[in-house]
């Protein structure tokens, strides 16, 4: 007996088709995973069920839920249903809560709007639900405001809000994508526990195959607004009947082929690096308190090496990166590049800056929208004493090296997709032939299939130009795929360092073990005997 | 919260000190000899000397500044050269016209702008919204003193519902004075209300696009509930800024509009002071106006903190 | 790209007054300097389209010449605000969090405590009334407006990765401000300039009305209104036409500002 049965759901926003004939069923107490890359329509499916679609969207088809059709219910009936029978949580916990209301009031509101309790009763229930999601009364009184909580804690509040009335179905739209890996594991555990305890069904929307493999009973794979394949989770993972599913799998597990071996010459040397920040003054007089973001970090990166730097948000890796790039000064210790000391600002000569370039995470904020690609790519020429005579040839060469055509130099950045933009960012880093490229979460914002292509490109360029990479990422899978050695950073310190395989296969530090255990993984034996079952 | 209030109070004090220095420097520093300036070119040297004596110009600039500030703190604003009475008395009488006028106008403007802006946001894209936006666009473009003249023309001269100007004084009863201030307040308030309504509308629309509104809707709140329980308070943050800025416009507007209605307020006093080169009056009234603006902005800062818990902890 | 209707309407209105002001340099329907008591207080008609004032001067001609004053004062005051405020805002953003930033921002706050009228009062009390006072007062008032808008917009750009990339490419604060920041906030500044321009027209009218602006014999809209006040019961046209001129110019500029914003920044259009 299914709880929710979606039949040929189609959706268009201002006549542009978004979903086509989407059909699936969710059984009572079941976890249903909806997987797809960005733009596949998985979030829109959820919003259509809740009737929370953007203006101008029209849904057709049917979604039967307890004898009613969710798509044809009136607004009044939907309000009675949302939060009561169907709860929903979203991707971005940082903005999902009202900043000027206490978390207690926000959780209690679910009960109050549905007339399930009076003010005192709702507060008691809120207290109870918050404790259930891991925010006990002693440490998290109802009077806390959202800005006093971390991202993971806010997501717990959202969950408490969504399950306050014990709905039959909880829709979770990328609930852990914005969270760190250890927090993600905790939130996923919490969701799993709630499903088991309350007999609730869960519709889990995610781009991450590994997440879904550990959570869902059934999985559907979406591409371009259609469900291309659906089955029981293990069956689907073993069978991969549709070519798109198969491609998605290959991309997730992709390990680029790498050439060339690191030499023994040290290129970047960090010795006892310390970076303090002044905290916003809490006292009117006296010295401002400081926060030590980087605390005595030392490591060496060798020529031709690919070194990973792994850590969760707030561990100090971004701060360390800015110091290495010569954007901010250290309060202690020393960073040398090719034997010369790195300083912030003008004190670092162009001849030294030339040896190091960077690729950032955000493919959309990485370029001045008013310049053409050729000018964007040529920006590091500023570090040369005078513009090279073969300027245009070198721009064309850099674009070709990253798989674009020289003609692309005349276009503007908004004409390119996210993956193409990361290629342009790599071309910009490459153009003055640096020795070191710092890759700051450079593939984190990309879909898996694009990510695999960029990783291939990076591996290829490293072999061709003898580059060294400092690869900074929160994503263990990616770091494992592309680095020779890895550093694990926690609370401003390097807690473990070693060859990548060694660290991943036999982690020594408890934190590393915790990180690796928390990272979701597809069970190894599911992928071994491909096409074997079914 | 207390710490926030104290730190704002410190910055209020600093602002007042710097502002008073600027005013003092312009009024007493720039003309060279204020006494000669006040008496004009053909003044009798003996009279100038007498005035110098009276104004205490013998001392050094820093000493005179401290004298001035010290006097102000004690409520002694000096003696007006033209009126021959303490400036404090002149100001006190007139303050009871200008301040109620500005407050009346601010209250009117807020009372009109809030519902109008909210309705426009709720009916976004409809004829109602378009009508409100058109009317406010016109309202912003109208100079308040001209609007005041039109009000006089219609309500005082044609319809004879109000008097064309003048102020009976608070001894004559409250109602008659409120009536006398009504046309000026309306003239001041409507253009300001137009601005405020537009800010209100765009601020509410902006908040309605936030993630937490979607969360609220997913909890089962109706569109209306989401607006009143979640959007409104968040939308108040930019609206408060504008209300704070508006106070200084209203004060300036009140000074101008007193001329239209022949109201015996600070505006009349200061313009007479300028014409008669009575620097003692000008200096004190300007300081008072600046004091009012800075204080209102301090209150707005406190209101921010009351609305937004995120501010209470910072600095 | 389709031109927003607000831009066309606003542009047309603004153009009417700009052209009238320019034409007044070479031609006006009647002279504005001489007295002609025989023709005083005419109501609008064939000879004097908008009537005459108590000295017999043609209202239309005076409005045309007055447009010159209004527009000139507003342009110079906005220019002053832009040339002082924008570099200060860029500097504060480039040195964000530092002493320079703090000084610029506190200076801004200080000037904000002085409404344009109060600045004008201060200047006039010491130097006597003139059109220059109005320009100075409005210009000083505009400076922190532009500094604040510039700094706010620049700050959000400074956190973007392309600015970091430029810094990695060895570019300094000045070069980044000019090459990357300024072009990307230009739209915002143009829209702000239009708004300040219209506020400048309003402020100039107010200052002239209370006698702190343009002095006789320079015709100005604000003073025409001040002079009409005592005659409003028997010659309302003296008050109505200058007021309408102000309203239409300001309306035109505001519509143009809205239209420009729609044209230049699709992101702001959504937020409205």
Over residues A430-469, the pLDDT tens digits come to 999 999 999 999 998 889 989 999 999 999 999 999 999 9
Question: What are the chain A neighbours of C184 within 8 Å (beta carbons)?
Answer: 368-370
Residue of C nearest to B26 (CA): C122
Provide the β-strand partners of residue A254: none
- The least confident of A9-18, A120-129, A504-513, B270-279 is B270-279
Question: What are the chain A neighbours of B218 within 8 Å (beta carbons)?
Answer: 50, 52, 82-83, 87-90, 162
Mapping DSSP onto H, E and C, the string for A214-277 reads HHCCEEEEEECCEEEEEEEHHHHHHHCCCHHHHHHHHHHCCCCCCCCCCCCCEEEEEEEEEEEE
The number of domains in chain B is 1
Assess if residue B14 is contained within a domain: no
Assess if residue B282 is contained within a domain: yes
Q: Torsion angle of alpha carbons C212, C214, C215, C217, nearest 10°?
A: -160
Rg (CA), chain C: 22
| pLDDT, position A532 | 42
Question: What are the chain A neighbours of B3 within 8 Å (beta carbons)?
Answer: 282, 284
- The least confident of A170-179, A273-282, C181-190 is A273-282
| Residue from A319, A349, A379 whose CB has the most chain C CBs within 10 Å, to mutate | A379
Residue-wise pLDDT tens digits, C74-128: 999 999 999 999 999 999 999 988 899 989 988 988 888 888 888 988 888 888 8
| pLDDT, position B162 | 82
Q: Which domain holds residue B173?
A: 87-313
| Residue from A107, A108, A113, A164 whose CB has the most chain B CBs within 10 Å, to mutate | A113
Assess if residue B168 is contained within a domain: yes
Looking at residues B259-277, what average pLDDT do you find? 87
Question: What are the chain B neighbours of C229 within 8 Å (beta carbons)?
Answer: 149, 260
Q: How far is CA A480 from CA A8, A507, B112, in A?
A: 41, 13, 63
Question: What are the chain C neighbours of A383 within 8 Å (beta carbons)?
Answer: 169-170
| pLDDT, position C255 | 92
Question: What are the chain B neighbours of A52 within 8 Å (beta carbons)?
Answer: 214, 217-218
C contact chains, 3+ CB pairs < 8 A: A, B
Distance from CA of C242 to the nearest CA of B (A): 9
Looking at residues B296-314, what average pLDDT do you find? 82
B contact chains, 3+ CB pairs < 8 A: A, C
Assess if residue B50 is contained within a domain: no
| pLDDT, position C56 | 74
Assess if residue B6 is contained within a domain: no
> Could you give phi then psi for residue A61, rounded to 5 degrees?
105, -155
Does B34 score more than 80 pLDDT?
no
Report the alpha-carbon distance of residue A422 to residue C151 in Å, rounded: 29
* Residue ranges of chain A whose CB lies within 8 Å of a chain C CB: 325-327, 345-346, 348, 350, 353, 356-358, 360-362, 365-370, 376, 379-380, 382-383, 425, 428
Interchain contact, B202 vs C272, CB within 8 Å: yes
Assess B202–C contact: CB distance below 8 Å, yes or no: yes
- E strand or H helix at A297: strand A290-302
**Strands A340-341 and A332-337, bridge-based pairing:** antiparallel
Assess if residue B257 is contained within a domain: yes
Assess C168–A contact: CB distance below 8 Å, yes or no: yes
| Residue from A51, A96, A112, A279 whose CB has the most chain B CBs within 10 Å, to mutate | A96
Distance from CA of A396 to the nearest CA of B (A): 43
Does B310 score more than 90 pLDDT?
no
Interchain contact, B290 vs C232, CB within 8 Å: no
Half-sphere exposure (CA, 13 Å, Cβ side) for B186?
Answer: 14
Assess if residue B187 is contained within a domain: yes
Q: CB of B263 within 8 A of CB of B177?
A: no
Residue-wise pLDDT tens digits, B196-244: 999 999 999 999 989 999 999 999 999 889 999 999 989 988 898 888 8
Assess if residue B128 is contained within a domain: yes
| pLDDT, position A217 | 96
Does A109 score more than 80 pLDDT?
yes
The minimal CB distance from C165 to the residues A353, A379, A383 is found for A379
Rg (CA), chain A: 25
Does A288 score more than 50 pLDDT?
yes
Residue-wise pLDDT tens digits, B88-130: 888 888 888 888 899 899 999 999 999 999 999 988 889 999 9
The model carries a pTM of 0.86
Interchain contact, B219 vs A75, CB within 8 Å: no
SS3 for A450?
helix
Please name the residues in contact with B46: beta carbons below 8 A apart, sequence gap of 6 or more: none
Select from B99, B92, B59, B94 the least CA-distant residue to B77: B92
Looking up residue B131, the CATH number of its domain turns out to be 1.10.3720.10
Interchain contact, B220 vs A113, CB within 8 Å: yes
Does C272 score more than 50 pLDDT?
no
Task: Give the angle subtended at the CA of A227 by the CAs of B215 and A178, to the nearest 5°.
Answer: 35
Q: Name the residue with higher pLDDT: C268 or B309.
A: B309
Does B249 score more than 90 pLDDT?
no
Averaged pLDDT of chain B: 87
Distance from CA of A272 to the nearest CA of C (A): 23
Report the alpha-carbon distance of residue B39 to residue B1 in Å, rounded: 52
Quote helix, strand, coil % in chain B, to nearest 5. Answer: 80, 0, 20
Interface ipTM = 0.87
In chain B, the percentage of residues whose pLDDT exceeds 70 is 98
| pLDDT, position C266 | 52
Q: CB of A105 within 8 A of CB of B219?
A: no
Assess C230–B contact: CB distance below 8 Å, yes or no: no
Looking at residues B294-309, what average pLDDT do you find? 87
| pLDDT, position B315 | 36
Residue of B nearest to C243 (CA): B146
Residue-wise pLDDT tens digits, B138-149: 999 999 999 999
Interchain contact, C165 vs A358, CB within 8 Å: yes
| pLDDT, position A285 | 53
Interchain contact, A327 vs C170, CB within 8 Å: no
Interchain contact, A380 vs C169, CB within 8 Å: yes
Question: What are the chain A neighbours of C180 within 8 Å (beta carbons)?
Answer: 368
In chain B, the percentage of residues whose pLDDT exceeds 90 is 34
Interchain contact, A52 vs B225, CB within 8 Å: no
Looking at residues C133-152, what average pLDDT do you find? 92
| Residue from C74, C103, C114 whose CB has the most chain B CBs within 10 Å, to mutate | C114
Does A65 score more than 50 pLDDT?
yes
Interchain contact, A114 vs B220, CB within 8 Å: yes
| pLDDT, position B16 | 92
The minimal CB distance from B220 to the residues A79, A92, A96 is found for A79
Report the alpha-carbon distance of residue A479 to residue C105 in Å, rounded: 44
A contact chains, 3+ CB pairs < 8 A: B, C
Q: CB of C206 within 8 A of CB of C222?
A: yes
Interchain contact, A356 vs C166, CB within 8 Å: no
């Amino acid at each position: 007996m299914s709880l929710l049965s979606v039949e040929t759901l189609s959706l268009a926003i201002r006549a542009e088709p978004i979903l086509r004939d989407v059909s699936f069923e969710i059984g009572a107490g079941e976890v249903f995973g909806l997987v797809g890359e960005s733009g596949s329509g998985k979030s829109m499916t959820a919003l259509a069920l809740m009737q929370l679609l953007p203006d101008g969207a029209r849904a057709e088809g049917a979604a039967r839920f307890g004898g009613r059709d969710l798509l044809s219910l009136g607004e009044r009936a939907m309000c009675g249903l949302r939060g009561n029978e169907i709860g929903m949580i979203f991707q971005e916990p940082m903005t999902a809560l009202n900043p000027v209301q206490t978390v207690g009031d926000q959780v209690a509101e679910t009960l109050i709007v549905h007339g399930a309790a009076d003010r005192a009763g709702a507060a008691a229930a809120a207290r109870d639900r918050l404790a259930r999601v891991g925010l006990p009364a002693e440490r998290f009184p109802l009077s806390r405001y959202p800005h006093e909580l971390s991202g993971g804690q806010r997501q717990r509040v959202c969950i408490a809000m969504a399950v306050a009335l014990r709905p039959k179905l909880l829709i979770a739209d990328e609930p852990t994508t914005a969270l760190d890996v250890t927090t993600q594991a905790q939130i996923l555990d919490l969701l799993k526990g709630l499903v088991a305890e309350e007999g609730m069904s869960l519709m889990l929307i995610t781009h991450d195959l590994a997440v879904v493999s550990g959570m869902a009973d059934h999985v559907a794979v979406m591409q371009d607004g259609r469900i291309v394949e659906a089955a029981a989770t293990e069956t689907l993972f073993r069978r991969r009947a549709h070519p798109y599913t198969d491609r998605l799998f290959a991309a997730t597990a992709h390990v680029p082929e790498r050439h060339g071996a690191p030499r023994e010459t040290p290129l970047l040397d960090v010795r006892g690096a310390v970076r303090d920040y002044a905290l916003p003054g809490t006292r009117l007089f006296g010295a401002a308190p400081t926060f030590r973001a980087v605390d005595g970090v030392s490591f060496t990166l060798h020529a031709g090496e690919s070194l990973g730097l792994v850590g969760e948000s707030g561990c100090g890796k971004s701060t360390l990166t800015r110091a290495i790039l010569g954007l901010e000064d250290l309060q202690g210790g020393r960073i040398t590049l090719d034997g010369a000391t790195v300083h912030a600002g003008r004190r670092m000569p162009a001849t030294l800056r030339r040896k190091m370039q960077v690729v950032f995470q955000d493919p959309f904020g990485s370029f001045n929208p008013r310049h053409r690609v050729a000018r964007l790519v040529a920006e590091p020429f500023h570090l040369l004493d005078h513009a090279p005579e073969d300027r245009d040839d070198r721009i064309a060469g850099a674009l070709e090296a990253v798989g674009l055509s020289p003609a692309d130099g005349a276009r503007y950045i908004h004409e390119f997709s996210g993956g193409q933009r990361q290629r342009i960012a790599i071309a910009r880093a490459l153009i003055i032939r640096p020795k070191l490229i710092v890759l700051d979460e450079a593939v984190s914002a990309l879909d898996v299939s694009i990510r695999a292509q960029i990783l291939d490109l990076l591996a290829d360029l490293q072999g061709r130009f003898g580059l060294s990479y400092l690869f900074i990422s929160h994503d263990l899978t990616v770091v494992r795929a592309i680095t020779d050695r890895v550093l694990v950073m926690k609370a401003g310190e390097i807690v473990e360092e070693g060859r990548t395989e060694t660290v991943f296969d036999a982690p020594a530090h408890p934190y590393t073990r915790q990180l690796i255990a928390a990272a979701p993984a597809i069970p190894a034996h599911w992928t071994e005997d491909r096409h074997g079952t079914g | 919260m207390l710490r926030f209030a104290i730190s704002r109070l410190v910055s209020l004090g600093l602002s007042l000190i710097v502002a008073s220095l600027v005013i003092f420097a312009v009024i007493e520093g720039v003309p060279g000899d204020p006494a000669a300036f006040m008496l004009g070119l053909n003044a009798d040297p003996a009279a100038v000397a007498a005035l110098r004596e009276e104004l205490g110009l013998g001392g050094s600039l820093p000493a005179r500044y401290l004298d001035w500030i010290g006097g102000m703190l004690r409520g002694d604003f000096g003696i007006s050269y033209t009126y021959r009475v303490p400036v404090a008395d002149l100001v006190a009488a007139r303050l009871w016209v200008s301040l109620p006028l500005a407050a009346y106008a601010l209250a009117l403007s807020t009372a009109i702008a809030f519902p109008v802006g909210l309705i426009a946001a709720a009916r976004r894209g409809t004829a109602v919204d378009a009508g409100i936006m058109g009317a406010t666009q016109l309202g912003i473009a109208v100079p308040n003193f001209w609007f005041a003249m039109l009000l006089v023309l219609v309500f005082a001269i044609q319809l004879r519902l109000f008097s064309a100007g003048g102020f009976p004084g608070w001894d004559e009863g409250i109602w008659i004075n409120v009536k006398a201030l009504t046309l000026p307040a309306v003239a001041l308030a409507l253009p300001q209300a137009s601005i405020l309504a537009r800010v209100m509308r765009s601020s509410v629309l902006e908040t309605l696009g936030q993630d937490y509104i979607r969360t609220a809707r997913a909890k089962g709140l109706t569109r209306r509930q989401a607006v009143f329980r979640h959007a409104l308070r968040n939308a108040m943050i930019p609206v408060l800024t504008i209300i704070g800025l508006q106070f200084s416009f209203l004060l300036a507007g009140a000074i101008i509009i007193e001329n239209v209605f022949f109201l015996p307020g600070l505006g009349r006093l200061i313009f007479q002071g300028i014409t008669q080169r009575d620097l003692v009056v000008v200096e004190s009234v300007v300081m008072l106006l600046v004091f009012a603006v800075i204080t209102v902005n301090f209150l707005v800062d406190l209101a921010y903190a009351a609305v937004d818990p995120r501010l209470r902890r910072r600095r | 790209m389709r031109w927003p209707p607000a831009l066309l309407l606003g542009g047309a209105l603004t153009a009417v007054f700009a052209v009238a002001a320019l034409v007044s340099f070479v031609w006006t329907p009647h002279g504005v300097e001489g007295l002609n008591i025989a023709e005083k207080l005419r109501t609008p008609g064939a000879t004097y389209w908008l009537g005459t004032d108590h000295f017999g001067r043609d209202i239309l001609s005076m409005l045309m010449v007055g447009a010159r004053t209004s527009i000139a004062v507003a342009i110079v005051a906005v220019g002053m605000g832009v040339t002082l405020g924008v570099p200060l805002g860029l500097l504060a953003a480039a040195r964000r969090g530092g002493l320079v930033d703090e000084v610029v921002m506190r200076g801004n706050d200080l000037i904000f405590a002085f409404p344009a009228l109060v600045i004008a009062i201060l200047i006039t009390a010491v130097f006597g009334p003139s059109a220059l006072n109005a320009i100075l007062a409005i210009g000083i008032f505009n400076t922190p407006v532009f500094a604040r808008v510039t700094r706010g917009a620049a700050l959000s750009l400074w956190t973007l990765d392309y600015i970091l990339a430029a810094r990695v490419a060895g570019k300094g604060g000045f070069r980044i401000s000019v090459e990357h920041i300024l072009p990307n906030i230009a739209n915002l500044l143009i829209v702000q300039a239009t708004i300040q321009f219209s506020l400048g027209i309003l402020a100039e009218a107010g200052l002239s009305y209370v006698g702190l602006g343009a002095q006789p014999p320079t015709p100005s809209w604000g003073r025409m209104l001040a002079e009409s006040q005592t005659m409003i019961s028997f010659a309302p046209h003296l008050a109505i036409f200058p007021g309408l001129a102000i309203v239409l110019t300001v309306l035109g500029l505001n519509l143009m500002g809205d239209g420009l914003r729609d044209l230049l920044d699709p992101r702001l259009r959504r937020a409205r």
